[in-house]
Amino acid sequence: MKKSTYKVPKMDCPSEERLIRMALEPLAGVGALGFELDARRISVVHSGPTAEVTELLVQLGLGAELVETNEHDDEFQTAPEDPSGERRVLRYLLAINAVMFLLELGLGVVAESTGLIADSLDMLADAGVYGISLYAVGRAAFAQRRAARVSGWLQMVLALGVLAEVARRAWLGSEPVEVLMIGVAALALVANLACIALLARHRHGGVHLRASWIFTTNDALANLGVIAAGVLVAATGSAIPDLAIGAAVGLLVLVGALRILRLRA
């Protein structure tokens, strides 16, 4: 057995840790996966060719690079998981993100804010990730990949819809309501902080929850981006900041969808 270590610089959203697991776990000879999430590194214990593992990681488009391959020792262990605790936390996270998706989408339409609509899509993408994780507990790898691909196609359709809406409003004009933008984005920030609090209790547990704890902090930054766009709309009287943040979040979700769809069926 060998242990190959990889640097994965683009492992920066909740779906990507799941993508890596679904890509590698079905590979014959893979014994265990270890994630150094803060350092954006993964370790793969395997008996087959290192090139085979590397090829699968490169195909995900996350910038994976092989750092080193050494003989496997018995000290490499993955953290034990508590399936019942994992399911409970995933249900809470799914509920929070689903509710915030509906709220942000509805109020984003009322406020004529592409930033809020796109941020609601980010919430939906996260809800999809947590839903897939919940569905995947105890299921075979092929079932996980099938569910992920359905989620990927849904995310792609919605991301393209948001980008089309950004283009439409840029062409026809819009008047985003900055007060609603700031208020709803602040509520979404509170929701993400609640998710972080839930995950913090399990950050040393299952690897899925440890990954989500780190990546949910990035979602809070997207909320701050919408708040900043709302402030700029109020200060300048221009819809451009709202369109810019809407396009940025829409593109991020689209990239995430494409990575999901790169998984082998």
How does DSSP classify residue 177? -
Residue 236 pLDDT class (50, 70, 90 cuts) = very high
Higher per-residue pLDDT: 55 or 259: 55
Strands in 2-7's sheet, in edge-to-edge order, are 30-36, 41-46, 2-7, 65-71
- pLDDT computed for residue 102 by the predictor: 93
Which sign, positive or negative, has the C-alpha torsion 98, 140, 146, 29?
A: positive
Would you say 82 and 90 are in contact if contact means Cβ atoms under 8 Å apart? no
Residue-wise pLDDT tens digits, 61-104: 888 999 999 887 655 444 445 556 667 777 888 899 899 999 99
Domain covering 2-71: architecture: 2-Layer Sandwich (3.30)
Q: Which of 51, 143, 89, 104 is nearest to 226 (CA)?
A: 104
pLDDT band at 152 (very low <50, low <70, confident <90, very high): confident
Chain centroid offset of residue 118 CA: 14
Cβ-based neighbours of 166, under 8 Å, separated by 6 or more: 114, 118, 243, 246, 247, 250
- Are 26 and 56 in contact, with CB atoms under 8 Å apart? no
Q: Cα 68–69–75 angle (5° rounding)?
A: 110
Average pLDDT over residues 103-116: 91
Q: What integer pLDDT is reported at residue 207 of this predicted model?
A: 46
Q: In this model, does residue 206 exceed pLDDT 70?
A: no
| Mean pLDDT confidence for 52-63 | 87
What DSSP designation does 96 have?
H
E strands in the chain: 2-7, 30-36, 41-46, 65-71
What residue segments make up the domains of the chain, in order of their start?
2-71, 83-261
pLDDT of residue 265 exceeding 50, the answer is: no
- Which pLDDT belongs to residue 84? 64
Predicted TM-score (pTM) above 0.85: no
Q: What is the DSSP letter of 34?
A: E
User: Would you state the pLDDT for residue 216?
Assistant: 64
The answer, yes or no, to whether residue 137 has pLDDT greater than 80, is no
Report the percent of the chain where pLDDT is more than 70: 75
